[in-house]
Chains A and B, each alone.
Chain A
């Protein structure tokens, strides 16, 4: 079964600084990868997804992620964060061959400090 590890449960960062949220997944022949964001008292919202093609994926709100098959990673980055980026971020994976439901990581709490 697929699994996802988000290496940092909490990441504090100063406003306008860059940030990287790390995500590793268990190996599979072919995967789909996602990053979702959850703001307080809200459901999840898709930031970006990798299905195939270019390994650098650009998403909403200035976020991007890079798919690295050899390292089974899909780290999320933003060059300059804003206070409004404070939220919980979830990495998720599904098996592209068997079209399995998404398996989510436990989340990384990003806190942007003014």
Chain B
């Protein structure tokens, strides 16, 4: 069974630009969650999508958005990048939701904002 894949693995952008990250969940998983990981703040929940609907949202500004497609693949977008957006962005999939199901994490996308 293929794991969770994330593309690209590394990205370098400049302030003010926008970026789109992609996540392909494990086949059959309908829930996709996104997290931001930084040394200072640790792992912070961004949002969760289930069957193309955003079901939960973390405490991030509106510059962070996402969507899920009918095949459960998900994208997240960050507009007007700031230096503080530099982080490892992790995607995780689970069967029906992250609260009690095991989440399977991808390797992450390392975003550097210059």
User: A94 CB to closest chain B CB, in angstroms?
Assistant: 4
Residues in A neighbouring B70, C-beta threshold 8 A: none
CB<8 Å pairs between A and B, sample of 12:
A49-B102, A51-B100, A101-B45, A101-B48, A102-B45, A102-B98, A102-B103, A104-B42, A104-B44, A106-B42, A107-B42, A107-B43
B26 at the interface (CB under 8 A from A): no
Contacting pair A96 B42 (CB below 8 A): no
Render B45-89 as a binary contact track against A, CB cut-off 8 A, 1 for contact: 100100000001010000000000000000000000000000000
- Please classify how large the interface on chain B is, using the bins under 10, 10 to 19, 20 to 34, 35 or more: 20 to 34
User: A46 to B102, Cβ gap below 8 A?
Assistant: yes
Interface membership of B25, Cβ < 8 A: no
Pick the residue among B90, B92, B98 that contacts A94 (CB under 8 A): B98
Is the beta-carbon distance between A105 and B42 smaller than 8 angstroms?
yes
Bound-state Cα–Cα, A95 to B56, Å: 13
A51 vs B102: C-alpha distance when bound (angstroms)? 11
Q: Shortest distance in angstroms between A106's beta carbon and chain B's nearest beta carbon? A: 4
